Amino acid sequence: MGELVSVVVPVCNEEANLPELRARLVAALADHEFECILVDDGSTDATPVIIRDFAREDPRFKLVSLSRNFGHQAAIFAGLTFARGACVAVMDGDLQDPPELIREMVRVWRKGAEVVYGVRAARSEGWFTRAAAATFYRVQTRLSKTTMPLDSADFAVMDRRVVDLIVAIRERHPYLRGLRSWVGFRQVAFPYERDRRRKGRATYTVWRLLDLAVSGIVSFSVIPLRLVALAGATISALSLAAGLVVLLGQMPVLAGVVAALAFCFGLQLLVIGMLGEYVGRVLEEVQNRPIFVVDEVVGLDPTRVARDRAAE
């Protein structure tokens, strides 16, 4: 049997996928001692009811119910806070991450890897999602000082000490893939084919994906601010050149002024927005609000989060 394996699964309105998820996890980890922590992120369907039934029928399945929808990354963070295993697997509840692969990833962990992270070798989403994801990962890699593997997923198996470090960081906008890379240690890529969603509806809207992308860049890089400063210097040079052209009579004065004002106005809005994003993140960190609020736990120690907060 070996060490306890914790499986953290954030779920939101996944009632259609839960029975298959349970069956596949039990089959995949039949030779392991495991616990499955299902984090209900403000579901409005029967998801929490089904998980409570799972917990009554099989004590290996636990419920962490959040007081409202705090978002996918916060739900993962909540699960990591309660996980007790020597290693912790993170997977989505929509079954796009195959539960059967956890067994193979745990085997790699036992060979000495502190982090075994999934890399999407193939994706079944539409062309827009694939193109947007490919663009984001490549822009993020160029902008961040922290090396983040291209096309990596939240799907991973992490050693106990890596999980403890990530939980101790307690950022208001946790970005698991970035924090996982930032802590370092021996990390091994695990290529896999991400399945398409067969039941239920995706909860990640375009705006949520955009917010995740912003978190992935702003939380790990100040290069956007430096690019803004570079843009300011470039515009100053262009303005000087345009002024010379106007003085030499090569351009109508009014047209030159209007073009310069429009360009500068647009850039100012960009600069203000960029600075606002960073200042807003600083404000949220200073406010020190919890990343998530637990409404109910089943099969777990309800004082776990309170003790962790008191220890900060």
pLDDT, tens only, 86-122: 999 999 988 888 999 999 999 999 999 999 988 877 6
Q: In this structure, are residues 123 and 156 in contact, taking their beta carbons and an 8 Å threshold?
A: no
Confidence of residue 85 (pLDDT cuts 50, 70, 90): very high
From 177, 38, 73, 74, select the one nearest 118 (Cα to Cα): 177
Please give the pLDDT value at position 293.
86
Whether the predicted model's global pTM rises above the 0.85 cut: no
Q: Does domain 5-205+291-310 sit in CATH 3.90.550.10? A: yes
Residue 311 has pLDDT above 50, yes or no: no
Domains of the chain, by residue range, sit at 5-205+291-310, 223-287
> Could you tell me where the DSSP H helices lie in 60-146?
72-82, 101-110, 127-143
Confidence of residue 294 (pLDDT cuts 50, 70, 90): confident
Q: In this structure, are residues 104 and 174 in contact, taking their beta carbons and an 8 Å threshold?
A: no
Please give the pLDDT value at position 34.
93
Helices (runs of H) and strands (runs of E) counted in the chain: 11, 8
State the Cα–Cα distance between residues 175 and 215, nearest whole angstrom. 7
State the Cα–Cα distance between residues 175 and 219, nearest whole angstrom. 8
State the Rg of the chain over Cα: 23
Please give the pLDDT value at position 154.
84
State the Cα–Cα distance between residues 307 and 187, nearest whole angstrom. 30
Q: What are phi and psi of 300, to 5 degrees?
A: -135, 165
Please give the pLDDT value at position 310.
42
Hunting for tokens 């539960």 — which residue is that?
99
Q: In a 10 Å sphere around its CB, with 0-12 CB exposed, 13-18 middle and 19+ buried, how is residue 252 labelled?
A: exposed
Residue range 27-64, pLDDT digits in tens: 999 989 999 999 999 899 999 999 999 999 999 999 99
Residue range 176-214, pLDDT digits in tens: 877 888 888 899 888 888 777 676 566 655 555 556 555
Tokens of 23: 């069956």
